[in-house]
Amino acid sequence: MDTTVEWAVVPSEIGPLLLAATDRGLVSVVFHADEAVRRTAVDRLAGQLGAEPVRSTSGRLSEPIRQLAEYFSGGRKAFDLPLDWTLTTGFNRQVLRELAEGVPFGAVVGYGDLAKRVGQPGAAQAVGAAMGANPLPVVVPCHRVVESDGGIGGFGGGLETKRTLLALEGVLPQPLF
């Protein structure tokens, strides 16, 4: 792949996020991006994309940073960003695209329901695996996928992060403290 990968770590209400973008768009969002997580994520991106990631200098990440800040402040309900889907393929990509396009702010969907939407009604567990492999959490809102029995389900960023995002979108009540 002949591309430049730029990255930056930005603060958010759920902790530092590492954002990475190629010339095609936002390619990765990583939770809890302290120094150790940052190093691991940048090394992983280098291997996955075949390009040495560099700290963002071109402004390529300015729009994703701005839109995420608006989202966390309550001023944005949908992201309007070019996305680079390179880090996901096949069924996972199909599920994540359906999630991004078909589950709006403030709504949730069950794993099984999302499987049905992509024509694979028996693939609820595979949908869960796709959520766990989502390279673009928050922007591709895997936090909006919940269990059919009303349980919150799992989340790669941790359940407290998922609760915070769902509370921000009005799905769950805001924590008391």
Cα 175 to Cα 73, 132, 156, 161, 168, distances in angstroms: 16, 25, 20, 12, 10
Catalytic residue status for 142? yes
CA dist., res. 143 & res. 74, Å (int): 16
- Residue 69 tokens read as 């800040």
CA dist., res. 144 & res. 20, Å (int): 22
The one catalytic residue in 142, 146, 165, 166 is: 142
Dihedral in degrees, nearest 10, Cα atoms 73, 163, 8, 76: -30
In contact, 165 and 143? CB cutoff 8 Å: yes
Catalytic residue numbers read 142
